[in-house]
Structure 1
Amino acid sequence: MTPGAAGAAGVAAAIVTAACLPPVIAWLRRRALLDQPNERSSHTDPTPRGGGIAVAIGMAAGTLAAVVAGDVDLVSSAGIGLSVGAVGAAAIGVIEDVFGVSPVGRLAAQSVVAGGVVVALWWRADLSGWLGHPVTVAAAIVWFVGLVNVVNFMDGINGITAVTVIVVGSYDIWLGWRSDEPLLIAGGAVAAGAALGFLPFNVPRARVFLGDSGSYLLGAWVAASSLVALVATRDPFVAGAPLTYYLCDAAITLVARLRSGEAVMTPHRAHAYQRRVQAGRSHPSVALEVGAVTVAAGAAGAVAELVPALEVTLAVVTLVATGAYVVQGRRTGEVT
């Protein structure tokens, strides 16, 4: 994919997302689809949820721009996989934002979407070796569902998911160029562009939240693109390195809550990034700090791709350093 085509896709996604947000916000307010502040939230004013609707439109526009440029084949296995994941997850999120969905129904729907994504990605791929093992296929489905929900859990302060997706999308652009996978380049450009278009409406003071429609959409896009990267590189660390912070914060917090006997399905403010806000940090400063940690993890993944002999060392250092940062953050602020 040419740099010009990737740039056009990203710009289209950003502009259309930003242009669609004002009418979407107005519609959400008319429907009274607002997140009300409570003791478990990190905001103080009723705020529309469902900004992901505009993000979805922007990403569709960016994808169309990439297709028109002639550099992306949406009927390839990777193209179908990304499309199924994004559309399916966004639909589940919109229904959740507007009508509500039971946890069991939501998990079942996400699992169906995940199965479609993995079948599409594995359909025409070279599945020689461990990549084609049934355990790997099952793990890919669990990975997709898990990451969609991780992004949803982690989207708890202004800007954090938009900043993270901008970094992950930029990494995907580089990795797509490195592995000669045009769809990874286009997907990274579109996701980063849409997140950039959304960011001014969410930071420093949120006029709208992504809602489940946005967090599921971006979570699915990130999950599907990481699987595309896995098929292209056959290297789990390189494919998922920029996701290290989100995975560590979610996993460490989950284990800590299980150990303390908490009901893990109930809302909370126990994530490391939330504790830092409780300690007096601003939402933008914490979001940018998480972005910096994500950049560092992505840099480790890039070096591992360029110098495979360093991969094990880089992976261990990245996990240990990120885990330590999360643990330190969880010790900050008031435990609620």
Structure 2
Amino acid sequence: MNDIIKDGLEYLGISIFYVKLILGMLFSFVITFASIPTIVKISRRKNLMDEPGTRSSHLRKIPNLGGIAIFYSLAVCASIFAFELFELYKFLFASLVILLYVGVMDDIVVMRAYKKLLAQIIVTALMVLGSDVRIRSFFGVLGIYELNYTFSVFFSMLTFIVLINAFNLIDGIDGLSGGYSIICSALFGISYFRLGEFNYPLVVLSAVIIGSVIGFLYYNLSHYRNNKIFMGDTGSMILGFLLAFTAICFIDIFIDKQLPTVPRYFLQSAPAVTVAILILPIVDTLNVIIIRIFKKQSIFGADKNHIHHSLLKLGLTHRRSSFYIIVYYLFVVSVAYYFRHINVNALLFVVLILGFIGAYIPRVILYTKEKTNKLFVNLQNDITTDENI
């Protein structure tokens, strides 16, 4: 049946890839868009809401099970339009199901951190050991090239876990994690497309992610109280996992696997370009860890030291904060792309420096603003005192 459809499309001059790409994005959007109202209704009826807390930037209870709709659309559309991925990576679907269960449990009853970490270790072990999704080379970063198997497995699992949790940490204001996942998926998808048809299933997966998240953002950015929803840990962990998966696959493309039928293109700065695409969650997490260590606080505690919190303190709305953060880090990606042919260590250094500059710009502005206000208040007090005298 598939061959008949394929032959018919080719006869009409239509590539099956573009059909999968368009339908995958369209149906993933429709499924998410149609599922969320039901999830919101059930969440409100059963009081399955996110309570304002230490890390929260909202002041009222909001449903936080939007990740279920994201998983639903991804599971349906990716398995239909990018089924080749599930044949090649046998444990991909199982990993998504495990993350769905852990995420929903955490969103409803709040799981202990060690239980979430254990589940993430199991998921990453399935992908790295079972599906052989690994970082095999550093491409000369710190003078290191090909990695031995043991270190490759350890570093790949660590990368998965760090990115899953880092993406969860940036999910603090409306539109940021969703908008950033769209940008990352689009950048990886375009890169995969340019690297040849062997990578087309990954292009379709990227399109499915984009369609699903757009459907979610319609409600996440809604001004209507009854429609608003968060993706919760379910959505952030699944998206973080998939972005880690696509990032590692992107780096792995440039490894010579001696496949004569697959066109090869070597980009020595591939790790630096990948870090540039995922720079926001990486820098935000490192920045928070540095601040907590400096203040002698637990690195696992909750606080408001994230980049988006600094922008909110400046009086920006959630939408404006998300927009400014995404635009700045798109600038970092543009710099990385423009200089992609320079030494990988130099490019990685530039990317990280620009990333941290973006993290500290809001803090510097906030500090300057507070000092100016304090100076103005002191000046007013001095004038009042002189008048009284």
- Fold-level similarity (TM above 0.5): yes
Q: Is the 8 A contact 2:82 2:205 kept in 1?
A: no
**One-letter amino acid of the structure 1 residue matched with residue 50 of structure 2:** D
Gaps of 5+ in 2: 1-15, 138-144, 256-269, 371-389
Shift of 1:6: 1.5
Which piece of structure 1 moves more, 50-59 or 202-211?
202-211
Q: TM-score, normalised by structure 2?
A: 0.77
Residue pairs, 1:201-212, within 5 angstroms: 201-205=219-223, 207-212=228-233
Select 2:218's aligned residue among 189, 200, 221.
Answer: 200
Summarize deviations over 1:148-186 as a string: whole Å, max 9, x none: 111111100000001001101101111211333123212
Residue pairs, 1:187-336, within 5 angstroms: 187-205=205-223, 207-234=228-255, 235-303=270-338, 307-309=340-342, 311-333=344-366
Q: Is the 8 A contact 1:15 1:197 kept in 2?
A: yes
Q: 1:88 to 1:61 in 2, by over 3 A?
A: same
Q: Is the 8 A contact 1:164 1:290 kept in 2?
A: no
Residue pairs, 1:76-95, within 5 angstroms: 76-77=88-89, 80=90, 82-95=92-105
Which position in structure 2 is the counterpart of 1:75?
87
* Matches of 1:32 and 1:94, distance apart in 2: 14
* Matches of 1:20 and 1:113, distance apart in 2: 26
* Matches of 1:116 and 1:302, distance apart in 2: 32
Summarize deviations over 1:24-59 as a string: whole Å, max 9, x none: 111111221111224542001110111100111111
Shift of 1:263: 2.7
Select 2:114's aligned residue among 104, 114, 119.
Answer: 104
Shift of 1:332: 4.9
Which position in structure 2 is the counterpart of 1:14?
29
* Matches of 1:164 and 1:35, distance apart in 2: 22
**One-letter amino acid of the structure 2 residue matched with residue 134 of structure 1:** T
Q: 1:332 to 1:261 in 2, by over 3 A?
A: farther
* Matches of 2:366 and 2:97, distance apart in 1: 38
* Matches of 2:253 and 2:130, distance apart in 1: 14
* Matches of 1:103 and 1:132, distance apart in 2: 31
Residue pairs, 1:135-150, within 5 angstroms: 135-150=151-166
Which position in structure 2 is the counterpart of 1:30?
45
Q: Does 1:170 align with 2:170?
A: no
Q: Does 1:55 align with 2:70?
A: yes
Q: Is the 8 A contact 2:29 2:73 kept in 1?
A: yes
Shift of 1:239: 3.1
Which piece of structure 1 moves more, 194-203 or 127-136?
127-136
Q: Is the 8 A contact 2:48 2:108 kept in 1?
A: yes
Q: 1:73 to 1:154 in 2, by over 3 A?
A: closer
* Matches of 1:137 and 1:268, distance apart in 2: 32
* Matches of 1:290 and 1:284, distance apart in 2: 10
Q: TM-score, normalised by structure 1?
A: 0.89
| Identity percentage of aligned residues | 21
Shift of 1:301: 4.5
Secondary structure of the equivalent of 1:285? Answer: helix
**Bigger Rg, which one:** 2
Secondary structure of the equivalent of 1:32? Answer: coil
Q: Is the 8 A contact 2:70 2:235 kept in 1?
A: yes
Shift of 1:248: 0.6
**RMSD, aligned α-carbons:** 2.5
Q: Is the 8 A contact 2:184 2:277 kept in 1?
A: yes
Secondary structure of the equivalent of 1:254? Answer: helix
Q: Is the 8 A contact 1:271 1:330 kept in 2?
A: no
* Matches of 1:160 and 1:49, distance apart in 2: 15
Q: Is the 8 A contact 1:85 1:220 kept in 2?
A: no
Gaps of 5+ in 1: none
**One-letter amino acid of the structure 2 residue matched with residue 323 of structure 1:** F
Summarize deviations over 1:58-103 as a string: whole Å, max 9, x none: 11232134147xxx342103xx354344332222101211233111
**One-letter amino acid of the structure 2 residue matched with residue 226 of structure 1:** A
Which piece of structure 1 moves more, 44-53 or 171-180?
171-180
